[in-house]
Amino acid sequence: MKSFGFQGVIGAIDCTHIKIKTPNSDIEHVYVCRKGGYSLNVQVVCDYNLKILDCNARFGGTAHDASIGIASALRVLLIRNYENGDRNFRLIGDSGYLLLPFLMTPA
């Protein structure tokens, strides 16, 4: 895998809003997107070849990228691997994510 100077990078992480139909009125507040309308905020991790390594589509449009990252099963797995001594991997993400030992974000 090419890393373009980022040692140990296994992929990139980001979220994107996927437009959905208007949900039931009792839950629509969860899906209101900051850009108007309703959406799912879907987190995806892909490698250099654009192969999807992980996808999380459980959150409505009101969820922030950092909240999705904190609540994801992927984070639990990566923390466990890191704490067990596997420190040869990194993800890169944007400023919507928290800086973690295995997640590089802009300063």
Under 8 Å CB-to-CB from 74, ≥6 apart: which residues? 45, 54, 56
The pTM assigned to this predicted structure is 0.87
Given a cut of 70, is residue 4 above it in pLDDT? no
Give the tens place of pLDDT for each residue, 19-50: 999 999 999 999 999 888 999 999 999 998 99
Contacts for 51-55 with beta carbons within 8 Å, 24 or more apart?
53/10, 53/11
Instruction: For residue 15, count CB atoms less than 10 angstroms from its CB and return exposed for 0-12, middle for 13-18, buried for 19 or more.
Output: buried
Average pLDDT score over residue span 4-33: 90
Q: What is the CA radius of gyration of the chain?
A: 15
Percent of the chain with pLDDT strictly greater than 70: 94
pLDDT at 57: 96
